[in-house]
């Protein structure tokens, strides 16, 4: 989607993102997708329950 990270930006920031979300959680599947979803919510101002389907659950 418009405003998502490019491949170059993803390569730069990818190593800075954690591989796990917490002590008891499973491994994160796609941190870049999560970050794009987070930025979408901040950019649009919608609640989490109304997030666009391309960002997953």
pLDDT tens figures, 1-50: 777 888 888 888 877 877 666 556 665 567 788 888 888 899 888 888 88
Other beta carbons within 10 Å of 41? 15
Residues 9-22 as b or e (16 or more Cβ within 10 Å = b) = eeeeeeeeeeeeee
**Is there a contact between 51 and 40 (Cβ–Cβ < 8 Å)?**
yes
- Give the Cα separation of 46 and 21 in Å (integer): 23
pTM for the full model? 0.68
**Is there a contact between 20 and 27 (Cβ–Cβ < 8 Å)?**
yes
């Amino acid at each position: 989607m418009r405003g998502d990270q490019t491949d170059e930006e993803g390569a730069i920031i990818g190593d800075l993102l954690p591989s796990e979300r917490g002590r008891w959680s499973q491994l994160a599947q796609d941190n870049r997708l999560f970050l794009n979803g987070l930025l979408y919510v901040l950019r649009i101002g919608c609640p989490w329950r109304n997030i666009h389907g391309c960002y997953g659950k």
